[in-house]
Amino acid sequence: MDWNPLFLTFKLALVTTLLLFVVSIPLAYWLAYSKSKGKPILEAIVSLPLVLPPTVLGFYFLVAFSPNNAFGRWLEQWFGVQFVFSFTGLVIASILYSLPFMVHPIQSGLSSISPSLKEAAYVMGKSRWETLTKVLLPNIRPSLLTGVVLAFAHTVGEFGVILMIGGSIPGKTKVASVMIYEEVEALNYDNANFYSGILLVTTFVILVVVYLVNGGYLKRFFK
Amino acid sequence: MQYAMEELVAEFSNESGIPSQMVIGASGKLAAQITSGAPFAVFVAADTKYPEKLYQNGLCLAPPRVYAHGKLVLWTTRAAIAPNVNILDSKAIEHIAIANPTLAPYGKAAMEFMGNHQLLEKVRHKFVYGESIAQTNQFIVSGSADIGFTAQSVVLYSQLKRLGKWAPLDTSQYTPIAQAVVLLKNTELQEKRAEKFEKFLFSPKAKKILENFGYTVVK
């Protein structure tokens, strides 16, 4: 059995989640506390991947990344890598695709904690950075966990975008979801079943763990 | 096959007065749907493997019949690239689009072709796989892949004719792509209509359309 597609899927989800976490905290922070007029626009952009079919994203990525146009050539020269048909391209696409799943929980976590916490930290002379890392983030741990897990799970389940820009290259862009699709088309239901089963079980376990942790069941259990 | 089929189905509906709807998809996907009970009357495939499989599973009225043989071409939309076999292993080519050889007959033929030119191992790392010939075309037309293998019927389609450049490939270097049709078990009315369609598909008029799209038909 070829484990490569599964390995790739989890590698993609892991890299995407790590990068998304770094990107999403400042973004969610700004969205939660800013009073700027441009906020609704940015909020709409962050939520777009929820609404748009993956084919729209995939199509735009395919065209944008193509070395046939100026933007694609610029990307290639600037970063020195081709995005289409590469793992890097999949990561970039996945970051956008899973963005709302990371930003929304963190944003709502930040907006729901009492402003007095933040104010108290400021009064005690803490900087914004210290307030964020030592007061705000520790107080929204469940939201952070939810964001991380949803982004991870959503990337594991990514299919349409990858199909359109990946090129199904074994070991590089042929992730489990694409592999399953191809096995079904080839009428190899046994193989499709194998990969699907693993994905089903793993994602189920991950979600159960999150709900256990967030629901406080584990804490109560160990008391 | 999609473009030739559009014309064939339009002509058939026109001639017979039977309204026909076409569902387009990769042969494998459609075969999987038919196996699960999709209510199609005719299955016009781009190969013989899937019709044969459906027939063995007892889903068809009669054995599959080959209606045409398809041809393979090299196609590029890059201005700087001239499509021919010899440039495939040159530095100018970074990605070669090819239909998934286990799923699509044109992908399999392309592999065979490159194998016969002793190119396969030299260029394998450049392959990007479309899950169907349609997706392979996307890679070529968007310019994401520098060049790719596709069906001649695609590049002969009127709306794509002026897009990029293509070159026919030596047909002695790959097995011609036999494409088969099967009639599927359905309601009595649908089965009768399907028979009419099959008859039409082997008529001189339909053969003319297929030939215009670069297919070889049995005279």
Using one digit for the tens of pLDDT, what is the confidence trace for A6-24?
999 999 999 999 999 999 9
- Most B CBs within 10 A among A55, A65, A85, A90, hence the mutation to make, goes to A85
pLDDT tens profile B76-116:
998 888 898 889 999 989 999 999 998 889 999 999 999 99
Other CB atoms closer than 10 Å to residue B40's CB: what's the count? 19
- Tokens of residue B35, six digits: 């196996």
Cβ(A65)–Cβ(A84) under 8 Å? Answer: yes
Q: Is the pLDDT of residue B132 over 60?
A: yes
- Tokens of residue B108, six digits: 């399999």
| pLDDT of amino acid B150 | 95
pLDDT tens profile B137-173:
999 998 899 999 999 999 988 777 788 899 999 999 9
Mean pLDDT on B32-41: 89
Q: Do B102 and A186 touch (CB under 8 A)?
A: yes
Q: What is the nearest CA distance from A208 to chain B, expressed in angstroms?
A: 32
- Tokens of residue A154, six digits: 């959503």
Q: Is the pLDDT of residue A217 over 80?
A: no
How far is the CA of A85 from the CAs of A168, A171, B52, B128, in angstroms? 8, 12, 34, 7
- Tokens of residue B85, six digits: 């076999």
Backbone angles phi, psi at A23, to 5 degrees: -75, -35
Bridge partners, B69 (sequence order): B178, B216
Q: Residue B184 belongs to what H/E stretch?
A: none
A162 at B interface, C-beta within 8 A: no
Q: Measured between CB atoms, which of B28, B29, B95 is closest to A85?
A: B95
Identify which of B123, B124, B112, B88 has the alpha carbon closest to the alpha carbon of residue B170. Answer: B112
A66 at B interface, C-beta within 8 A: yes
SS3 A148: helix
Other CB atoms closer than 10 Å to residue A112's CB: what's the count? 11
How many interface pairs between A and B have CB atoms less than 8 angstroms apart?
Answer: 72
Distance CA A81, CA A91 (A): 13
**pLDDT, chain A, mean:** 90
Q: Is the pLDDT of residue A167 over 80?
A: yes
Query: What b/e readout covers B145-169, taking b as 16+ CB neighbours within 10 angstroms?
Result: bbbbbbbbbbbbbeebeebbbbeeb
pLDDT tens profile B185-196:
999 999 999 999
Q: Do A68 and B94 touch (CB under 8 A)?
A: no
Q: Is the pLDDT of residue A223 over 60?
A: no
What pLDDT band is residue A221 in, cutting at 50, 70 and 90? low
Backbone angles phi, psi at B168, to 5 degrees: -70, 155
**pLDDT, chain B, mean:** 91
Distance CA B111, CA A77 (A): 32
For A195, counting Cβ atoms within 10 Å of its Cβ (0-12 exposed, 13-18 middle, 19+ buried), the class is buried
| pLDDT of amino acid B218 | 79
Range in A64-68, A109-113, A138-142, A154-158 the model is least confident about: A64-68
| pLDDT of amino acid B79 | 87
Q: Model pTM?
A: 0.84
Crossing angle for the helix pair B2-16 and B204-212, to the nearest 10 degrees: 150
For B102, counting Cβ atoms within 10 Å of its Cβ (0-12 exposed, 13-18 middle, 19+ buried), the class is middle
What pLDDT band is residue B63 in, cutting at 50, 70 and 90? very high
For B105, counting Cβ atoms within 10 Å of its Cβ (0-12 exposed, 13-18 middle, 19+ buried), the class is buried
